[in-house]
Every structure is written in structure tokens, then in C-alpha cells.
Chains A and B, each alone.
Chain A
């Protein structure tokens, strides 16, 4: 078989590939990570490259405009090298460190929750300053015993242990520093362990990381454990997406030779880049950080810990484990202090993971007297219904649309994202962006507003089709169907019109239908009506803003009384942060996950009926949405 050279000219990298290799794979081979949130299925249109020289065979795609074609733009995933090539990569196609850093700086702190103050401040990792009296002829206690005794006095007699590495040079360290040292103590397996002993008093600075590992996005936060303040937050698209946009494709990929390792490396890369970027921004040393708490869905946790996830996708869908032992940071590959500790939130079942348990801790649903519901609107939408006595959890495969992936101009909830939209009678669009910058794209909350406003102005009909009879320069035909211009070129910072297409609307319709029908199916399962739900917590990666009224208007959320709703932002991240700050919260998570009964909606025939009926704005049964009438 013949081979060709693909030269990525602006990256100064070139690679030999076999005939028939697509450019996306060639780039990966050259160590260049292209944006491909659909995993190379030709659906997201984010891996555009420019063929400068050479022969290729490119699949036609609706995501490449006529204009693009003239400029030699193709989708890397759908283009096969048929000779030696010179390829240029536009910056928007690169998921580079630089670009991520830029994006990540802009992520918000998130919503501050009442629950966060409920738990006592007993962090995962504590720094305890010790001033010991030195040994003498009368006091011949060994150095380590001396530390244990001092700690024991400060920790109400709890047993403490440590590792040999901390002991070897202990004597010298104590003597050099007048027996003044700081013990870094962590909760592990129900006991306390000295992770490290630092000379002098370092207890003033105690930092930790909280992470939410999502199928589509990875979010990390640096937290000052002493004050509870969030110092910085970053968000990035999960790099595993290059191997598949959903958990099932990734599980399949993991079972291929070396697949699990690659998926692990991809997400660790995300995590470590976030750590590095935040450390740089906050001018701290990652080596000074000893604790991290991670929350993620079951597949993400398996992949991160390199546990074979294959049983998750096979009936009866049982994961290898739902609880994950706390481990050493070096063992995980987390680039904080190698002696540090990483804890993981436990999950319930294959499709109801630690992210939703984390969410339960964050919203406090498990303490509610009345019936309450938590809906986490993510790629794997997860829903828990219950109260202090019982809880039921279910999952809905909603897809990444509300996280800004798989849509023509979808993006994360970061600066420059349109997150709120109003359209007046003359169809003039007023769009607000995060950070009040020029628009780059549209994030989940922006799409919710947009759909609602388009429905209101009859720009789309209830089936999501754009009304061709309206005359407005914003409504126009594209290659396949119709699109609506949200921001014209001069209002955007990307030099192009920002539009929503009928395909995008279809995609969003399926996502919202999946979430809504999962909520209703779970309620039906326990024979409850939406009117009986006293509290509804809505979580998701929407940044700081989600218009509940509009989410109801498009049929994403049930038409319940407005005062039962509470938007709680990224609750998975919030729960991880709370577990970092309070071991009590972590313990609580490890108690309550056992109380959640898993309901497998895919085996409920009624779920499919519910889902199909929800593929309309707001719903085919208009009686369920009286306020839309």
C-alpha cells in the first residue's frame, strides 16, 4: 500500500500516512489535536482544515459552505489523502493549549449555593502546624511518635499513619527547623494519613482542586481550602471527544487495542492543562497542592482510572465499580504534589454516576421533606426524584447540544458566548454575551432563549421548521434547508454571520425531548404528577444564567409552578468543591448514593412514547403546557 506525506505547514509537523487515511487521523498521528467534538463523524464541522497543495477526496458536508470550498476548506474527518499534502489549520480548528487557556479564563465561578455553608469546614486535606519540643534525656520519644502524639492531641485522638518516604529524612528536617513543621493530613479510607511533612509553617496556604469530568466538557476549579473561595475556574471540551462524542462510542473505543490508555491520556491532558493554566494565572506552584476531588459519570470515572468500562454498555449494564478508592495523585497522573490525594464521588449505576451524587450534595435534595427533583442537563442527562426517605435516579441520552457541541455555532458558556436573546416584532435580535464581548457563538442558555423567542415571533413553527414566508434578511436558505441569522458578521468576532440552522433546531429538539421525557417518565414510574413536586433543582453547564421560563416555553422543563424551580449551575462541580472543603460532605455522598434506586428508562416502553411525543415545541400534548397557550 502506498504512503503519503501530510505536511501541516503552519504547525511545522509532517507525518507519513497510508493511503486512505483521513486528515483528522493524520493530524492526531502528528500530535495535533483538532476540534472534533463529534469524534470524526462529520457532524460537528469543527475540524475544518485548508488543503493548500495535493490531491484529496473530500466527502460533501452541509457544514462546509460554497465559500469555504472555494478556499480549499474541507472537514479533516471526511477527507482522505490521495497524494502528498500541504495542509493549513485555521486557529478555530485547533484545540490548542493557548486557545483553551484563552477560553478557560472566562468560565464563571458558578452559582453559589445555600448548601455550601451547611457542612463543617473539615477539608479533605488539612495543614496542621506543629511546634514540637525537641527530645532530651527525659523525653526520648522518637521523632515520628512525637509528631503522631502532637497531631493526636489536635485531632481528638484519631489514629494517624504515614508512609516511609515521609519518615526517611524527618529527623534532619525537624532538627534544621527547630522542630517546627506542618503536617499535611488527609482523610483516607476512614482514617487520617500524613501525606507530607513540610518544614516550618505552611498552613496559611491550603489549596485544592475540584473537577467535573463531563462527557463533553471538563471543568476545573482552584479552591482556597482555608477560606472556601474559588480562585479560578476553567472549562475545556473533553479531549476524549476525538475518539467519540458519546459514552458508548468511547467504551467501544476503550476495548480496542490501547484505546483505554488513549482515552485516559486525553482526559488527563485536559485536567493537567487546566491545573497548569490555573497555577500560572494564580502564581502558585502545583506542587503546593495536595488535594483534589473529582466527580463524573460512571464511564468517565472508569476511563479516568483505566478500569475496563465494557460491561457498562452490555446488558444488564453493570459497571465494574460504583465507588472508587481515594488514590495518590501520582498514581492517577494528576500533576499536583505527587504525594497528594485524589478522591472521587461515588455513583449509583452505569448511567447515574458520581456527577449526580455530587449534585445531590450540592442541592440537598436528600434532605427535602417534600417531593423534589434534580435534573442535570448534560450530554447524559441525569435525573433524581425523591425526598429524605427515598430517591430514584434515571438517565437520558440527551446529546451535547446544550453544552454547545454538535451545533453550527455552539460553544461553551465562556466569554463571547451569546447567552441571552430577545427578538422584537421586526425580527431584530438583541443578544447578550458573557463578558459583554463581541459574539463568538451561542451557548446552551443562549439556544434556549433563542428557540423561545423564535417560537414567539413565529420565526419557527412548533415543529422547528423555519417559516419561509416571513421576509427578513435574517431568514435565508442554506445548502440544505433554512437558517436564521442571530448575529451578522459585523456583530461577531469571528468574521462570519452567526446562524442557527434547521438542523441545529432539530438537534436541540431531540435533546430537550430526551430531558423532558425522562423527567416525566420518572414521575410516572412512581405515579406522581409534576404538580406534586415541591422543589426542582436544574443543573447544567449553563454558566451563571438559565431562563427557566424560556426553558419551559420550549418544552425542556415541565410547566410547573415557577417558584419550585431553582437553577443551581454546575452542581457536579459544586458537590466536588464541597467534598474538598468538607469531609462530612464527602461522607454524606458516600451514604446517600446507596439510597438512590436506579430506573433504567431504556427498558421502559413508555419512555420511547414519551420521547417521541416530546419532539415538538413545546410538546404534542398542549394540555401539558397550559402557559404556552
Chain B
């Protein structure tokens, strides 16, 4: 008699979040089982890879990544176009870094103008991330959100200490939000509930469970993601959000990736992203275009049933 393998039966699916409007619109989430266990459930939307661009020259980026884009990094619009036309990015993550006090402390209006220029030139959905300084972001992101009204962007990052401004503005302008929870299922739940309490649809939240790089405690992130997912599958709606991970940002700051040549760096980014796909990442933001191309192929392969 053939051995019948046990199949897990889950009740609650992961929410499906749409990013973008019109033709290029993408969907995240919707899983009904752990990643790639097609016998147990479905994974209606392919895990996505976004490329990251900044609204100013990325002075702190590792050389191999900067070099990959050549002179384009000096012009955000060119950089964005290159990602799409040359490297086939289906979605872009625009980090409004120029406004940060440590990165030139640029004007908010100038930053928003650059975002608008990118949005005008590239027709892919956008993830828009603030500069990381709470005070500055609380001015910058509402303006960026208004400017992008109707484009259904994914805005970030809402943290437990600073979520209200962003939540209110995204609610008004119809965007989705990234909610940050530093390797903590409870904080994730709390923030999701707090945002829902402000009237924000929980089904428009994407969770950031914290990203790390290969060799830097990745298994911890993995187990937190798994725990959240399993809770969501048995009906905890406050954890049923897709995951976003900033793999490029984390990988390219560790010495193993940035100091041993381009090849090792790319491999490091790919290895991290590959593991995170298995952990349940619905979208990952990468920096090196070649990593993005490779990992996309890998995902395509995994999605073959």
C-alpha cells in the first residue's frame, strides 16, 4: 500500500495586497500554505523582486552595486529607467534618502519632485521609503503620499514609535503600508492592530519582520516568519499580511559581501534572498541587478508545479 503523506490543513489565507494601478499592477501574498508546498495549499502570486533606487547618489553603497549602474546612479530618473528597461524590474523601491540629515539634509520638496519625476518616467509600481529620520519623514512622507495619490504605492516604513502620520496620510491617499516589527511577532501584531484602529484596512499592510544577511542570524528571522505564518494560517488575522524584506540593503553592508569582489557580493545577496523566499518572503528589495535577475529565475523554477 502506498504511504499517504500527512497534509496540513489550514483555514486562513494570507491577505492579497495589490501595488500599483493599471497595467503594471502586481499582487503580493494570497498563500494558503507554507512556501512551495503546493500539495498542501496554493501560492497564487509569485514572490517578487524589486530593485532599489535612491533619490540621490548612494554615497554609502558598496562599490560593486554602484558600479553595476554606472553613471546612472547620479540621476535618479535615469537610474530608475535603467532598472526597468535594462534589468527588467517589474517593481521599484524608491528610497527618499536625500532628505536625511546625515545624507545632505535635502529639501523635502526637492525629494518629492524627484519621486514624481521617477513615477512619470517609469510605468512600474513603486514602493516608497522615507529617509529613516522620524521627524523628517513625518513631513516628507505625507507630501510624497499626496504626490503619488491614485498610484496605489506601498509606503514605508511605519514603526511602533512612528506610525500615525504615515497611516493617516496613506489612508487619505489610498496607498498600502509597510509595518515594521523588529523580529517580534507580538510587536507585529500590535502595530497591525494599532493601524487598524486608525481605520486603516489591515489587508493593505505588508509586514517587515526585519531583514538580515546570510551569516548574521538569518535563521532567527526565518523562525519568526514561520511562526507568524503558522499563526496566520490557523486564523490570526492580525498576522495574515505578506512579508517584505530589504535583502539588498542588509547584504551589501556586511564585509563578506562588500569587500571580496563583485562575484562574492552577488552570491551573498542571492543566497540570502533564496533562503528568504523559502521563509515566505512575498517581495524582496535587492540592490544588485544581476542578483535580481538570478533570483527571479530561481523563483520561476520553484513555481513550476
Contact = CB atoms under 8 A, between A and B. Distances in A.
Interface of A: 461-463, 469, 612-613, 615-616, 620-623
Contacts of A623: 235-236
A423 B186 CA distance: 29
Contact of A616 (B164, B186, B236): B186
B189 A620 contact: yes
Given A462-B190, A612-B186, A615-B186, A622 B160 contact: no
B237 to A, nearest CB: 8
A461 B238 contact: no
A463 B238 contact: no
Contact of A463 (B184, B194, B235, B236): B194
Contacts of B235: 623
A427 B163 CA distance: 24
5 contacts: A462-B194, A616-B190, A621-B238, A622-B238, A623-B235
Nearest 10 A-B pairs (CB), nearest first? A620-B189, A620-B186, A612-B186, A616-B190, A613-B186, A620-B190, A461-B194, A463-B190, A462-B193, A462-B194
A461 B161 CA distance: 12
A621 B235 CA distance: 11
Nearest to B193: A462
Contacts of A612: 184, 186
B4 interface: no
B193 A622 contact: yes
B86 interface: no
Given A620-B193, A620-B238, A463 B160 contact: yes
B102 interface: no
Given A462-B193, A613-B189, 5 more contacts: A461-B197, A612-B184, A612-B186, A613-B186, A616-B189
A566 to B, nearest CB: 31
Nearest to B184: A612
B197 A462 contact: yes
Nearest to B164: A469
Majority SS at the chain B contact face: helix
Interface in B215-267: 235-236, 238
A621 B189 CA distance: 8
Contacts of A622: 193, 238
A463 B187 CA distance: 10
A116 B288 CA distance: 76
Contacts of B160: 463
Contacts of B238: 620-622
B171 to A, nearest CB: 14
Interface in B140-193: 160, 164, 184, 186, 189-190, 193
A620 B194 CA distance: 10
A463 B189 CA distance: 11
Nearest to A467: B164
A427 to B, nearest CB: 18
A620 B193 CA distance: 8
A142 to B, nearest CB: 76
B140 to A, nearest CB: 19
Nearest to A614: B186
A621 B197 contact: no
A435 B157 CA distance: 51
A336 to B, nearest CB: 51
B169 to A, nearest CB: 13
Contacts of B190: 462-463, 616, 620
Nearest to B188: A620
A623 B12 CA distance: 14
A621 B194 contact: no
B164 to A, nearest CB: 7
Contacts of B184: 612
A616 B181 CA distance: 15
B198 to A, nearest CB: 9
Nearest to A468: B164
Interface string B190-206: 10011001000000000
A615, A621, A623, most chain B CB atoms within 10 A: A621
Contacts of A463: 160, 190, 194
A615 B164 CA distance: 20
A613, A615, A620, A623, most chain B CB atoms within 10 A: A620
A463 B197 CA distance: 11
Nearest to B238: A622
A621 B236 CA distance: 8
Contacts of A462: 190, 193-194, 197
Nearest to A613: B186
A603 B160 CA distance: 30
Nearest to A615: B186
A619 to B, nearest CB: 9
Contacts of B236: 621, 623
A461, A469, A612, A615, most chain B CB atoms within 10 A: A461
Nearest to B165: A469
Interface string B90-111: 0000000000000000000000
A411 to B, nearest CB: 30
A168 B193 CA distance: 77
B224 to A, nearest CB: 12
A610 to B, nearest CB: 11
Contacts of B194: 461-463
A56 to B, nearest CB: 35
A621 B160 CA distance: 17
A622 B186 CA distance: 12
Contacts of B186: 612-613, 615-616, 620
Nearest to B161: A465
Contacts of A469: 164
Contacts of B193: 462, 616, 620, 622
A612 B184 CA distance: 10
Contacts of A621: 189, 236, 238
A148 B199 CA distance: 81
A608 to B, nearest CB: 11
A290 to B, nearest CB: 55
A613 B164 CA distance: 22
A301 to B, nearest CB: 37
A622 B193 CA distance: 9
